[in-house]
């Protein structure tokens, strides 16, 4: 199984600012995923990030708002840009393939 860590674990940010969330995996992985979990809701996929190519965004999510980097096979970042209170969520990094899908502990973001 993959062990995934995320930084920061939580943050409180002012509207209009940006936050970059880091995701580190303890092994090389092909695909990494970013999910959002809004308060009391389920998880929604934001984008899929493969190393060496542009991230693929799901409907309702755009690169200008959620730019993603994937510089190597163990690391990815997600930036939440120009934040508003509606961006207050838990952001989770995930990786896996086949039957194995593992998640990081999440970054709890509050926008005031």
Beta strands in 1-112 (DSSP E): 4-7, 10-13, 19-25, 31-37, 43-50, 56-57, 68-72, 75-80, 89-97, 100-103, 107-111
Gap between the Cα atoms of 81 and 16, Å rounded: 8
Would you count residue 106 as binding other proteins (CB under 8 A)?
yes
Beta strand 107-111 with 10-13 is: parallel
Would you count residue 42 as binding other proteins (CB under 8 A)?
yes
The span of 17-25, 38-46, 63-71, 73-81 binding other proteins (CB under 8 A) equals 38-46
Of the candidates 21, 25, 33, 91, which one interacts with other proteins according to CB under 8 A?
A: 33
CB-CB contact of 33 with 47 (8 Å): yes
Output the smallest distance, CB 82 to other proteins, in A.
25
Of the candidates 43, 65, 75, 88, which one interacts with other proteins according to CB under 8 A?
A: 43
Would you count residue 45 as binding other proteins (CB under 8 A)?
yes
Q: Which residues bind other proteins (CB under 8 A)?
A: 31, 33, 41-45, 48, 92, 94, 97-106
């Amino acid at each position: 199984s993959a062990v995934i860590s995320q930084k920061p674990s939580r943050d409180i940010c002012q509207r209009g600012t940006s936050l970059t969330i880091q995701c580190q995996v303890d092994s090389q992985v092909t695909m990494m995923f970013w999910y959002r979990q809004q308060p009391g809701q389920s998880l929604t996929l934001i984008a899929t990030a493969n190393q060496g190519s542009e991230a693929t965004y799901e409907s309702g999510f755009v690169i200008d708002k959620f730019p993603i980097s994937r510089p190597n096979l163990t690391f990815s970042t997600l930036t939440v840009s120009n934040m508003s209170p509606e961006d207050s969520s838990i952001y989770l990094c995930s990786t896996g393939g086949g039957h194995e899908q593992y998640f990081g502990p999440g970054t709890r973001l509050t926008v005031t």
